[in-house]
Structure 1
Amino acid sequence: MLRRQRSGQARQALASSLAVGLLAALLALPAGAGLLDDDEARRQIRDLAIKTNERLDTLSKGQIELANQIQALREENARLRGQVETLTYELESARKRQQDFYVDLDGRLRKLEQGPSLDAKPGEESKPLAETPRKPASDPAAETREYESALNLFRANKLKEAAAAFDSFARAHPESALTPGAYYWSGNAHYALRDCRKASEAHRLVVSKWPANAKAPDALLNIAVCQQELGDSKGARTSLEALVAKYPDSSAAGTARQRLKK
Structure 2
Amino acid sequence: MPGRRFLFASGWSTSLSTVALLLAVFGAPQAQAGMFDDEEARRQIKDLSIKSNERLDTLFKAQFELVNQIQALREENARLQGQVETLNYELESTKKRQQDFYIDLDGRLRKFEPQSAPSAETKTGDEAKPAAESGKKAASDPAAESREYESALNLFKANKIKEAAGAFEAFAKAHPDSTLTPNAQYWLGNAHYALHDCRKAIEAHKVVVNKWPQHPKAPDALINIATCQQELGDSKGVKSTLETVLVKYPDSSAAATAKQRLKK
Q: Give the TM bin, normalised by the shorter chain.
A: 0.7 to 0.9
Tell me, in whole angstroms, the C-alpha distance in 2 between the residues paired with 1:213 and 1:62: 71
Q: Deviations over 1:18-63 (max 9, x none)?
A: xxxxxxxxxxxx8773124987766554444333222211111011
Tell me, in whole angstroms, the C-alpha distance in 2 between the residues paired with 1:56 and 1:198: 66
Is 1:162 the counterpart of 2:164? The answer is yes
Aligned position for 1:130: 125
Structure 1 residues 38-47 or 95-104, which shifts more? 38-47
Q: Deviations over 1:90-126 (max 9, x none)?
A: 111111111110011111111222xx538x77xx457
Structure 1 residues 168-177 or 31-40, which shifts more? 31-40
Is 1:261 the counterpart of 2:263? The answer is yes
Taking the TM superposition and a 5 Å limit, the aligned residue runs for 1:1-262 are 33-36=33-36, 45-113=45-113, 116-117=114-115, 124-125=119-120, 129-130=124-125, 133=134, 136-262=138-264
- Segments of 5+ residues of structure 1 without an aligned counterpart are 1-29
Rg (Cα) greater in structure: 2
| RMSD of equivalent CA atoms | 2.4
Normalised by the length of structure 2, the TM-score is: 0.78
Tell me, in whole angstroms, the C-alpha distance in 2 between the residues paired with 1:208 and 1:260: 23
Normalised by the length of structure 1, the TM-score is: 0.79
Q: Deviations over 1:57-80 (max 9, x none)?
A: 111101111111111111111111
% of aligned pairs identical?
71
Tell me, in whole angstroms, the C-alpha distance in 2 between the residues paired with 1:190 and 1:44: 80
Q: Deviations over 1:118-162 (max 9, x none)?
A: 8x77xx457651168575231011001100110111111111111
Secondary structure of the equivalent of 2:71? helix
Tell me, in whole angstroms, the C-alpha distance in 2 between the residues paired with 1:45 and 1:174: 99
Tell me, in whole angstroms, the C-alpha distance in 1 between the residues paired with 2:38 and 2:230: 88
Tell me, in whole angstroms, the C-alpha distance in 2 between the residues paired with 1:44 and 1:223: 83
- Segments of 5+ residues of structure 2 without an aligned counterpart are 1-29, 128-133
Tell me, in whole angstroms, the C-alpha distance in 2 between the residues paired with 1:206 and 1:104: 20
Q: Which amino acid aligns with 2:140?
A: S
Q: Which amino acid aligns with 1:218?
A: D
Q: Which amino acid aligns with 2:52?
A: T
